Amino acid sequence: MRRAFCVALALLMLAAACKERKPRPRNLNAENQVAPRVIRLYYESPDLLLVPELRNVQLPQSPAGAMSVVARELLKGSANAGVPRLLPADTVVRGAFLLPDGTAFVDLGGPTLTSGWPAGSHEELMAVYSIVQTITSNFAEAKRVRILLNGAPAETLAGHIALDRSLTPNSSLVDSRAP
């Protein structure tokens, strides 16, 4: 009987040792130093110029992680319902990244942009430069922006604005009266 008890005790101890331990849940927000930060998003005003809209957004401290979040926030549209969308509603941010030389890349996709966006020149100008102004104003390291379409260099989004090179911020498109 004593032997059976010892064997049973040994089996219980072995089973307890082999029992899978659940990994502790990781707090990715803490690991990535995610915190609320104020960002500037640029939208078209009734004066046909870009104006900043301030917004609190949960952002990782790293520009590599934060740039896509900022670009996606821009595509959500203005908090003011009277401000028109910058890009087609089905536009997505596939990614965004920054090269050491200060060139930021924003990769856009979506059925409308892929098949041909029927926008006018002003509409396309505002959409393109809202991206440029938003990225360069929120990331000091970003000096210029290159827009990609579905992971490849884009000639244009709607046929009017050349995207075959990096674009720098254009203060003449931003309302000087804006805060």
Domain spans of the chain?
33-173
In this prediction, residue 179 carries a pLDDT of 64
For the chain, 179 residues long, give each residue's pLDDT as a single digit of tens: 666 665 555 666 666 666 556 665 665 555 557 889 999 999 999 999 999 999 999 999 888 889 999 999 999 999 998 898 999 999 999 999 999 999 999 999 999 999 999 999 999 999 999 999 999 999 999 999 999 999 999 999 999 999 999 999 999 999 988 66
Give CA–CA dist 121/128, Å, rounded.
Answer: 11
At residue 83's C-alpha, the angle toward residues 125 and 57, to 5°, is 90
Give CA–CA dist 166/69, Å, rounded.
Answer: 21
Q: Is the dihedral of CA 44, 45, 50, 52 positive or negative?
A: negative
Task: Please state the pTM of the whole predicted model.
Answer: 0.81
What backbone torsions phi and psi does residue 44 show, to the nearest 5 degrees?
Answer: -75, 135
Reported as half-sphere exposure (CB side, CA atoms, 13 A), residue 52 has a value of: 17
CA 2, chain centre distance (Å): 67
Using CA atoms, how far residue 40 sits from 84, 96, 168, in Å, is: 17, 17, 17
In this prediction, residue 30 carries a pLDDT of 55
pLDDT tens-digit map of 81-124: 889 899 999 999 999 999 999 999 999 999 999 999 999 999 99
* Cβ-contact 157, 116 below 8 angstroms: no
At residue 109's C-alpha, the angle toward residues 104 and 111, to 5°, is 160
In this prediction, residue 8 carries a pLDDT of 59
Exposure pattern of 54-82 as b/e (b: 16+ CB <10 Å)? ebebebbeebeebbbbbbebbbebbeeee
In this prediction, residue 169 carries a pLDDT of 97
